[in-house]
With several copies, the nearest count.
Chain A
């Protein structure tokens, strides 16, 4: 049986509860659902951020990693939604859901997907504040976090 994997990149907001309901509807083999929601912070006078992505590649890359997560852990479903466009503090940026019979698999898969998304998915953030706008610099610790999943 194939594992439901849903990847969406969209301007619109998402409804986490609806996504969990969709992933679990009619199933009694799911014991654990882990969600991660990334939210736009207002630190340092941030007025807004604009998210750009590489259409086509972004979807394909996330989907490839979602399937890799399904191969690594006994998952029953994965959903990733990443917003693009202009967002203001408090807005949802993205979400990852991982469902499994067991909690460890769901936690590990959600963390794996988040570490991957931060370091390797083709998205770029530009932040606006009172001084103008600047592109967010990549964080070295994000590369390190992603590298811990590399198979040796």
Chain B
């Protein structure tokens, strides 16, 4: 699964994207964020407030309870500030 990070999520983790295979027990976007937060200090910092993290699966906005099965690309990022 390709993971993409943007804005301060990207800065805190230190990479813009990576390929990771979470264990089968990680089924939802929310669980994926929790699993990533346990991967080390930079991830813990990026996901210290999981409630503010927004997510997209295959470039479509999704909610934390969305299942990640079948996802090619999961993006995690802060609330958007365009316009």
Residues of A in contact with B (beta carbons under 8 Å apart): 38, 51-54, 56-58, 60-61, 82, 93-94, 103, 114, 117-126, 135-139, 142
Contacts and interface: CB of A to CB of B under 8 A. Distances in A.
Interface of B: 4, 6-8, 56, 59-61, 75, 77-83
A137 B75 CA distance: 19
A121 B80 contact: yes
7 closest A-B pairs (Cβ-Cβ)?
A: A123-B82, A138-B79, A124-B7, A57-B59, A118-B83, A117-B83, A136-B81
B82 A53 contact: yes
Chain A binding site: helix, strand, loop or mixed by DSSP?
mixed
B82 A137 contact: no
Contacts of A120: 61, 80
19 contacts: A53-B82, A54-B4, A56-B59, A57-B60, A57-B75, A58-B82, A61-B61, A118-B82, A118-B83, A119-B80, A120-B80, A121-B80, A123-B81, A124-B7, A124-B78, A124-B81, A136-B81, A137-B79, A138-B81
